[in-house]
Amino acid sequence: MNQFKTFFLMTTLILIFIFIGGIIGGRGGMIFAFFLAMFMNFISYWFSDKIVLKMYRAREIKREDAPEIFSLVEELVKNANLPMPKIYIIDSPSPNAFATGRNPNHSAVAMTTGIIRLLTKEELKGVIGHELTHIKHRDILIQTVAATIAGAISLLLTLARYSMIFSNDEDNRGGILGLIGLIIFSIAISIIIMLIQMAISRSREYLADEGGAKISGNPLYLANALRKLEMYSKKIPLEANPSTAHMFIVNPLTGKDFYKKLLSTHPPIEERIRRLEEMSKNL
């Protein structure tokens, strides 16, 4: 059901993008919007992982750098029937982790030094299992495409507003009433896009929690890890770009202000823990 919901929401986002292109430029605008989406998705498909890893100054490590971490990932990769991802470390005391990559054969798991120090071996297994599930389900690609199209929609709406502001024809839609209407329309579309992105991210998190529990062998490993991460990420927040917040296992923006909590791309930690505990009872 969650898989179908994600497909439906992604389709809705793409249709909104083409619809806006049509409003701005008619049939030509729809065609332009379609090819712009294809171009932006091409860039995000091939280069999004490299961009985000560089953004957080993540450094790739080899087996000799952290043999225990490598052994842990190898064990879980076998359980998940996945190829071995590259492993990256982010020098930050804030405990967090994320996965990236366009497919299982070109993937990476990044962990902060803070999460390695904070969690036990079992709890870390739960977190890595969660991230491997994201890789298995190609969630990062889905969320990257969603973010790319959302950014393109915002760009189209901005161009349309500037076009109307500087239009010399007072009788066309560049008039003041048309501009006000476009601003209201832009706000409404922005809210819809935000809700779609949140729904995509939240549904994928629940699926990754379930998969991570199965890969690690015990749902309580991840439940206990989430409990710790929720507490310590508030005390030591990660300086994260909001556009990448959905990638982390817990929201890196948690605790900064009320609005960021309200618009979180992650489901409530309490609900995630409750589901994992229920899952453990049914084993």
Predicted model pTM: 0.76
157: confidence class by pLDDT, cuts 50, 70, 90: confident
Task: Give the residue numbers spanning the domain of 199.
Answer: 2-281
Residues 112-128: what's their mean pLDDT?
97
CA-to-CA distance for 147 and 193, rounded, in angstroms?
9
Number of domains in the chain: 1
Closest CA to 108 of 77, 146, 67: 77
CA-to-CA distance for 5 and 59, rounded, in angstroms?
35
| Span of 4-18, 201-215, 223-237, 248-262 with lowest mean pLDDT | 248-262
The answer to whether residue 131 is catalytic is yes
Summarised one tens digit per residue, pLDDT across range 159-186 is: 766 666 655 555 444 456 566 666 776 7
Residues 221-240: what's their mean pLDDT?
90
CA-to-CA distance for 144 and 102, rounded, in angstroms?
9
pLDDT for 134 equals: 92
208: confidence class by pLDDT, cuts 50, 70, 90: very high
CA 13 to chain centre: 15
Question: pLDDT at residue 6 above 80?
Answer: no
Taking residue 114's Cβ as centre, other Cβ atoms within 10 Å add up to 21
Tokens 């989406």 belong to: 37
pLDDT for 52 equals: 85
* Token output for 24: 């701005």
Strand partners, 59: 89
Q: What is the mean pLDDT of the chain?
A: 81
Indicate the pairing of strand 97-103 with strand 106-112.
Answer: antiparallel
Question: pLDDT at residue 254 above 60?
Answer: no
| Span of 78-87, 180-189, 205-214 with lowest mean pLDDT | 180-189
Amino acid type, 276: L
pLDDT for 219 equals: 97
Active-site residue among 68, 74, 123, 131? Answer: 131
Summarised one tens digit per residue, pLDDT across range 94-114 is: 999 999 888 899 999 999 999
Strand partners, 108: 86, 100
Who wins on pLDDT, 61 or 145? 61
Taking residue 113's Cβ as centre, other Cβ atoms within 10 Å add up to 14
Summarised one tens digit per residue, pLDDT across range 131-154 is: 999 999 888 777 666 666 666 677
HEC readout, the chain = CHHHHHHHHHHHHHHHHHHHHHHHHHHHHHHHHHHHHHHHHHHHHHHHHHHHHHHCCCEECCCCCCHHHHHHHHHHHHHHCCCCCEEEEECCCCCCEEEEEEECCEEEEEEEHHHHHHCCHHHHHHHHHHHHHHHHCCHHHHHHHHHHHHHHHHHHHHHHHHHHHCCCCCCCCCCHHHHHHHHHHHHHHHHHHHHHHHHHHHHHHHHHHHHHHHHHCCHHHHHHHHHHHHHHHHHCCCCCCHHHHHHECCCCCCCCCHHHHHCCCCCCHHHHHHHHHHHHHCC
CA-to-CA distance for 196 and 238, rounded, in angstroms?
25
Q: Rounded to the nearest 5°, which phi and psi values hold at 246?
A: -65, -15
